[in-house]
Chains A and B, each alone.
Chain A
């Protein structure tokens, strides 16, 4: 595409089927303890 560059190929809607295993890190165990940072975590079920 000439006018648009897409940065990611993964779509959230595709994670509905296989998601929810719960093995990923809990948000507050990483560094924060004061704000919710779920988006910073990585999936462990690839």
Chain B
């Protein structure tokens, strides 16, 4: 399967099943779609009015060579491999600890409903957190790198337990030959020097929630009484980013129907001095006023193009920044097994509520149908675990003919469930945006390669 497109002046050809990416000139771009179904003579005949015969022949030979090398027109030969792969015993390697189901902000789009996840306000006790870490170690098999995210609600409302759990994890990792990678997500309200020092010492990554321009941020991320939070958090986030040498963190925003021109928010964050930026589409129900709608898609796609072009311009001016959704590693990216098996929710990744219940991921928390077990009794709902285990790209009808399947791994199971009632479907607006992001990311690689 081949996906070819033009973006920002580049002709890009992606050979989906090998992952090979080619930048081609116009004649090769026109030869490629004809190659598999026409003879050389037919191709020359159909293109001879646009190109010289010698050029067409030359391009044809180059395309043929790439096909012979296994970097064009390769077939999808991974389905049997994935079936074997998913029969391996499941290990757990990552936990999202809901350290606080409470929040000091009242963000309008919060899927946790102001931190409470359709339930009661609660803080995780040290004992529950400790049992979660013990469960992770005991169920991680031979995996060495274990990931634990302190999530909420707002985790800093329970900072003391965060510190104690990190200390416990550091003690245990030595005993069991494991390596904990802790991460912290925060809205910044309670971020102070003590937290920063701790985060810089212990956190492999810190996710700082901010949406972009002041008016955009304050509209969606107010305090409970209505005041905006932008002025309070920006200087603190700037200080933290600098103290981490502009690395191992993300300022992370959400765009909604109310700021379809979100590239301005990304650039605003870059103008504030942030170098690691992630701004992502809101997850909402169609009836929410801020939900992205089908009609918004063309504008959003245009915004990604605008952003990619501006990033390139800034790169050439020496003002680079990293946009998480345009990150793509063409040489050292994940293996096929990882790409096709999905995000790992419900299998190697679990969310843990303050009272120790397991859910497939943070987005399923509070939906009793997805309760999988708890830190004391372990994983009990094996049937549900099995459903998630089998939720790979081949289980999804919509992904079979999609060029993006090796990059999104079939997309977010929670999004699929919330829009279609099944984890093996796909959230269509999300798919459109994802495809455009991949196209932009590859275009940026093409532009950078040209500079070398």
What 0/1 pattern do residues 1 to 15 of A give for CB contact below 8 A with B?
111111111111101
- The contact of A15 among B144, B149, B327, B335, by CB within 8 Å, is B335
Q: Inside 8 A of A12's CB, which chain B residues have their CB?
A: 17-19, 335-336, 339, 406
Interface size on B, residues (CB 8 A): 90
Q: Give the B-binding residues of A (Cβ under 8 A).
A: 1-13, 15-16, 18-20, 22-46
| Partner-contacting stretch, out of B21-29, B99-107, B131-139, B216-224 | B21-29
- B343 at interface by CB-CB < 8 Å: yes
Nearest B residue to A15 via CB reads B335
Residue in contact with A28 in the complex, picked from B13, B22, B96, B338, CB distance below 8 Å = B96
Contacts of B337 in A (CB 8 A): 15-16, 19-20
**Which chain B residues lie closer than 8 Å to A23 at the CB level?**
143-145
Q: Chain A residues with Cβ under 8 A from B309's Cβ? A: none
Would A6 and B71 be within 8 Å (CB), given that A23-B144, A37-B408 are in contact? Answer: yes
User: What would be 26 A-B contacts, judged by CB atoms less than 8 Å apart?
Assistant: A6-B66, A10-B19, A10-B331, A11-B18, A13-B74, A27-B344, A28-B94, A28-B149, A28-B361, A29-B205, A30-B324, A31-B250, A34-B415, A35-B281, A36-B343, A36-B408, A36-B409, A36-B412, A37-B325, A37-B327, A38-B338, A40-B324, A40-B328, A42-B334, A43-B329, A43-B332
Q: How far is the CA of A21 from the CA of B111 in the complex (A)?
A: 32
A-B contact count (CB 8 A): 211
* Bound-state Cα–Cα, A27 to B340, Å: 13
**Does B280 interact with chain A (Cβ within 8 Å)?**
yes
Q: Which of A1, A8, A33, A37 contacts B62 (CB 8 A)?
A: A1
**Bound Cα distance from A14 to B43, whole angstroms:** 32
The chain A residue sitting closest to B434, CB to CB, is A35
How far apart are the CA atoms of A35 and B362 in the complex, in Å? 12
Choose among A3, A11, A18, A20 the residue with the greatest number of B CB atoms under 10 Å from its CB.
Answer: A3
Q: Take A6-B66, A7-B445 as given contacts and tell me if A41 and B18 are in contact as well, using a CB distance cutoff of 8 Å.
A: no
| A39 and B328 form a contact (CB under 8 A) | yes
Given A22-B91, A44-B145; A4-B332 close (CB under 8 Å): no
Of B58, B411, B442, the contact of A35 (CB 8 Å cutoff): B411
**B338-351 near A? 1/0 per residue, CB < 8 Å:** 11001111001100
Determine the distance from Cα of A5 to Cα of B10 in the docked complex, in whole angstroms: 11
Check A7/B449 contact, CB under 8 A, given A22-B143, A36-B410.
yes
Q: Which 3 A-B pairs have the closest CB atoms?
A: A19-B335, A39-B407, A20-B337
CB distance from B385 to the nearest CB of A (A): 16
Q: Are A28 and B349 in contact, CB atoms less than 8 angstroms apart?
A: yes
